[in-house]
Amino acid sequence: MRRRSVAAQGIALGVTAIIVWWLARNTTATLDQHGISLGFGFLRQPANFEIGDAPIAYSPADSFVRAILVGLANTARVSVLGWVFAVLLGFVLGVLRLAPNSAVRGVARTVVELVRNVPLLLLLFFLIAAMHALPPTRAALELLPGVFISDRGLVLPSVDLRAWSIDRPHLVGFNFVGGLTISPELTALLAGLVLHHAAHISEVVRGAVIAVSQRQRDAASALGMSRAQVMRFVVIPQALRAMVPLLATNCVSLTKNSSLAVAIGFPDFVSILNTTANQTGHAIETMLIMIVVYLTLSLGVAGAMNAYNRRLLRPGA
């Protein structure tokens, strides 16, 4: 028995090795034929392409490394904003879906079902088309006082930290002066990601709240707690613990989904790597960078969640 399993494993290992060797041999042959050599040296060359939306200083004369860092910064920016708003909206929707009023529940449920049952990419295409169909800046719509939306994007009031004042944007000629401008692509991407993941998070929230047993609520009510107190002191603390791993999974998947930016023209990490691969022909190296970065993120979060679960399971925690 033991000898047989050792032999079988040896064969499996051998077959895997042969496949890998075959792929590697073909790759070297193809690379030779195209005159490309493997290596990351090309990253130091100037990128020579424009990036529309750069949160850190960048010009086309900068290296590919710099361009990729811009992409990474954009992905980080979308992720962090996306996590915050998706979790907030997800909580609101999740709580509304448990509201005592059936009309409120119905509306929340309709929103969640609508979003959950269409592809995220469709939502993004729809939103970017809607952004481009908005009126031009001089006829921008004022959503809230100081918040404008036009085909050039979203303009928000910004806080000037040095003067401790709020900088409200105003229209001068054809453009806005002051405030913070968010490009149409970033607006559509964020709105789509937040809606999609909030719908999924609302299910997590709802599930976690329902999972707290009715007996505990009854016991808490019997102690004289109000509905709000039961929620605040009994249900939410327990539900939160059950939610954390699922919320983390959702946040990681939001970051992975932010790679759909490439389809609507927002220069995120994946989109810049794709441009780099097309311009230099170094597809293998760029894909390797992509895989390593995403794996680091996913495995890092998975490790943190395992540690969190161990801590919860520890007696006295």
Partner 1 sequence: MLSATVAIVVLAAAVPLARWALIDAVWTGTADDCRAATGACWAFVAHKLGFIVFGLYPPAERWRAAVALTVLAGLIVSTALPRFWRRRTLTGWAVGLTMGFWLMHGGLGLARVPTRLWGGLPITLMLTTLALALGFPLGVLLALGRRSRLPVPRTLATTFVEVVRGVPLIAVLYVAALVIPFAMPRGLEIDKLFLAQCAIVVFASAYLAEAVRSGLQIVPRRQYDAARALGLSAWQVHRLVILPQALRVVVPSFVSIAVGFFQDTSLVVIIALFDLLNTARFAAQDPAWLGFHAEAYVFVGLIYFAGSTLMSQYGLWVERYLRAGPAGAQASRQGRIRNDNT
Q: Which DSSP letter does residue 232 get? A: I
Q: Which is nearer to partner 1, 176 or 266 (CB)?
A: 266
Q: Cβ of residue 287: shortest distance to partner 1, in angstroms?
A: 5
Q: Which is nearer to partner 1, 19 or 88 (CB)?
A: 19
Q: Cβ of residue 257: shortest distance to partner 1, in angstroms?
A: 7
Q: Which is nearer to partner 1, 25 or 232 (CB)?
A: 25
109 contacts: CB under 8 Å, gap ≥ 6: 97
Q: Cβ of residue 260: shortest distance to partner 1, in angstroms?
A: 7
Q: Which is nearer to partner 1, 42 or 294 (CB)?
A: 294
Q: Which DSSP letter does residue 43 get? A: G
Sign of CA dihedral 264, 265, 267, 273: positive
**Chain positions contacting partner 1, by CB under 8 A:** 5, 8-10, 12-13, 16, 23-24, 26-27, 29-31, 33, 101-104, 107, 113-114, 116-122, 125-126, 129-130, 133, 256-257, 259-260, 262-263, 270, 274, 277, 283-284, 287, 290-291, 294-295, 297-299
| Tokens standing for residue 9 | 């494993």
Q: Cβ of residue 159: shortest distance to partner 1, in angstroms?
A: 31
Q: How far apart are CA 253 and CA 260, in angstroms?
A: 12
| E-strand stretches of the chain | 141-144, 147-150, 153-156, 158-160, 165-167, 170-172, 175-177, 180-182
Q: Cβ of residue 29: shortest distance to partner 1, in angstroms?
A: 6
Report whether 159 contacts 167 (CB < 8 A). Answer: yes
| E-strand stretches of 58-204 | 141-144, 147-150, 153-156, 158-160, 165-167, 170-172, 175-177, 180-182
Q: Which is nearer to partner 1, 110 or 226 (CB)?
A: 110
Q: Cβ of residue 57: shortest distance to partner 1, in angstroms?
A: 27
Q: How far apart are CA 13 and CA 199, in angstroms?
A: 44
Closest CA to 192 of 124, 118, 132: 124
Q: Which is nearer to partner 1, 56 or 118 (CB)?
A: 118
